[in-house]
Structure 1
Amino acid sequence: MTRLRLDANLKWLFTELPFPQRFEAAATAGFTAVEYASPYEYEPRQLCALLRNAGLEQIRINTPMGPAGSPTRSGLACIPDRVLEFRSGVLQGLEYATALGAKFLHVVGGVVPEEISKDQAFARYVANIAWAAEQAQGSGVRLLLEAQNKRDAPGFILSSQEQAAAVVEAVDDSTVGILMDFYHAQVDEGDLIRTYERFVDVIFHLQIADPPTRNEPGTGEIGWPTLFKAIASSSYNGWIGCEYRPKGETTAGLTWMKELAR
């Protein structure tokens, strides 16, 4: 049975502290690895120093996204008139991931623009992922695709693990894989264990939070002991990102790790 490896998502955890201080806080809490969506507000050398000083490994970052409320707030990959911006973002993401030693770059799909059809957006999405996969070849960085639920991200281009897996197969399964977020999957798909086991061979990263409020495991509707046992018994040997909104102070809420993920 595989030991579960949990990393801290510094966009969501330890937000009581300024971002640079979250690295040391994560290490003090017992984490040995971190992930976060956007490193681009800092120079790679600054982030490398924070990782090194805290003794942490960088697991994942995202491609650049636009500000809240903008058309690119959830990524650019499916937006036909943003191809050059998308490509620039992928190259920047690969540069940062390589510099930070991150294994994964999540290529964020985006929301389908109102003025075009879902089919048009999806065709652009697949073409963009194929281009990104070519750029990633030989870099040591795997690209990740994530389905997001329609409640939190209406109009998001990927809506299921099955759809994400189809894109992986169509593009390049040696360079691209799935990021399965159990929070998003539970909200829209359910049947988590069977869905996970169906696609485990192309899943390279996992994320966790408990619906309906996206707080820490044990606060909502998912049966975490059973789910964690299924993960540990499977072929998966990657990391599990803690991408949840703590109900209270982050460290005080980490008791779930001992109670549910033994």
Structure 2
Amino acid sequence: MLRFNPNLRWLYAELPMLDRYAAAARAGFRGVEVAFPYEHSARDIATILDDNGLTLVQILTPCNWDAGERGIAALPGREKDFRASVQVAIEYAVQVGKPLVHAMAGNLESGMSRELCRDTFLANIDYAAGIAAREGLTIILEPCCSDRFPDYFYHRLDEGVDIIRTVGRANVKLCYDTYHVQSEEGSLVSRLRAVYDHVGHIQVGDVPGRGEPGTGEIRFPFILDEIEKLGWPGWIGCEYTPSTPDTNDALSWAQSYGIARPAK
């Protein structure tokens, strides 16, 4: 059976962050992902995970998200900052169960050389992957759709695969997110099959609006069945904004996978 995990930045946002872990566990989730867990010590998060029988699936390398940064890995002149962020993420990841580490590329400013940004991204990901490999960690790359991130370094799966092939490290993988892929490319199943050998994580969100499965145009029973047929061994992250104020009220789509509002 497919294994789902909520992104706690999006799901259970009606609760304080540290309460979201237990809420996810009560609904039947056995994994979670948290973009920036760093405001809480790794020791405290490890304890919360253990107490709730949860696996931390993915974190991001730190960046100044509130100031508009969407990563810095492809930004020339920020190499020192990126390498410092990698060290922080890896040291944290080792203490909380070795989740995937997503290195976001960043938004390009007008006039930036794409060739220079690509070279910067390649060098930074190669560095991150080398450090991560020593700890048994995987670096995740995720092209993001132009509809949501118009200035982002890359938007299409093939661009991510090109980076992965050029870096040539076994621990650099692709995140396949139904929201981004459908928004940018469509043909969800054929695109998944085309890049499947490079995929290290899958996320789901519907289009338009990035709501839960069943709120938009994607036929999720079909795509999830195809993912299962492919023998997907990893987690599937729920990265969407619930359509109801109470996250549990928007979990009907997941009942057949053992996820549902907990009994009172």
TM-score bucket of the superposed structures, by smaller chain: over 0.9
Which residue number in structure 2 is paired with residue 184 of structure 1?
Answer: 180
1:180-259 to 2 correspondence within 5 Å?
A: 180-248=176-244, 249-258=246-255
Alignment root-mean-square deviation, CA? 1.5
Which residue number in structure 2 is paired with residue 108 of structure 1?
Answer: 104
8 Å Cα contact 2:33/2:57 also seen in 1: yes
Which residue number in structure 2 is paired with residue 15 of structure 1?
Answer: 13
Which residue number in structure 2 is paired with residue 133 of structure 1?
Answer: 129
Which residue number in structure 1 is paired with residue 44 of structure 2?
Answer: 46
Q: CA deviation at 1:99?
A: 0.8
Q: CA deviation at 1:259?
A: 5.9
Q: CA deviation at 1:131?
A: 1.2
Q: CA deviation at 1:260?
A: 8.5
* TM-score, normalization by structure 2: 0.94
Q: Secondary structure at the match of 1:179?
A: strand
Structure 1 position 146 matched with structure 2 position 142: yes
| Structure 1: runs of 5 or more not aligned | none
- Name the amino acid aligned to 2:139: L
Q: Secondary structure at the match of 1:81?
A: coil
CA distance in 2, matches of 1:69, 1:221: 32
CA distance in 2, matches of 1:64, 1:21: 22
Which residue number in structure 2 is paired with residue 77 of structure 1?
Answer: 73
8 Å Cα contact 1:32/1:56 also seen in 2: yes
8 Å Cα contact 1:38/1:61 also seen in 2: yes
Q: Secondary structure at the match of 1:68?
A: helix
- Name the amino acid aligned to 1:257: A
CA distance in 2, matches of 1:186, 1:28: 31
The equivalent position to 2:151 in structure 1, one of 155, 158, 165, is: 155
Number of equivalences: 258
CA distance in 1, matches of 2:184, 2:42: 36
8 Å Cα contact 1:224/1:260 also seen in 2: no
8 Å Cα contact 1:218/1:260 also seen in 2: no
Q: CA deviation at 1:69?
A: 3.9
| Structure 2: runs of 5 or more not aligned | 260-264
* TM-score, normalization by structure 1: 0.95
Q: Secondary structure at the match of 1:38?
A: coil
Q: CA deviation at 1:261?
A: 9.1
- Name the amino acid aligned to 1:124: T
